[in-house]
Copies of this chain bind each other. A is one copy, B any other.
């Protein structure tokens, strides 16, 4: 007899379903860890952007990460309050706010990265190292190097 908890094969045959399901657990587990520090996913994304590409005007963070400007203001506000980024007016255009990663922010990002890898180990437990590599490769191709092209 089939387990009364088995997922319907009709759904398991759909990559769409698997992606959304697995993606959801990955997302929520990571979000859980971050929330223990009072952070959300966007905070991490902003820190990563600053670490990888250097200081950004807030509008450039908006463009890069595809968030609403108003929401970005709130994220940056929170990160600044925690001492993880610095906000300075751009002297060349005093409308702009230059956001810079502080050493504390860099440290935080390192920790968050470790958290993310821990989550990864949980979620991808059934796969060996090689399989994980293949999976990451495929996901990267799907995602596209430029971020998901938004074609409505």
Contacts and interface: CB of A to CB of B under 8 A. Distances in A.
Interface string A129-142: 00110111011111
Nearest to A135: B138
A143 interface: yes
The bracket for how many chain A residues form the interface is: 35 or more
A3 B65 CA distance: 12
Identify the interface centre among A17, A65, A119, A146: most chain B CB within 10 Å of its CB: A17
Nearest to A52: B8
A38 interface: no
A126 to B, nearest CB: 5
Interface string A24-60: 1111011000000000010011001101110000001
B26 A143 contact: no
Interface string A1-29: 01111111111101111111111111101
11 contacts: A5-B146, A7-B147, A8-B52, A8-B64, A16-B116, A20-B23, A21-B23, A21-B148, A22-B139, A22-B142, A23-B24
Nearest 9 pairs between A and B by C-beta?
Answer: A23-B23, A20-B27, A8-B48, A18-B139, A10-B48, A19-B26, A8-B52, A8-B49, A7-B147
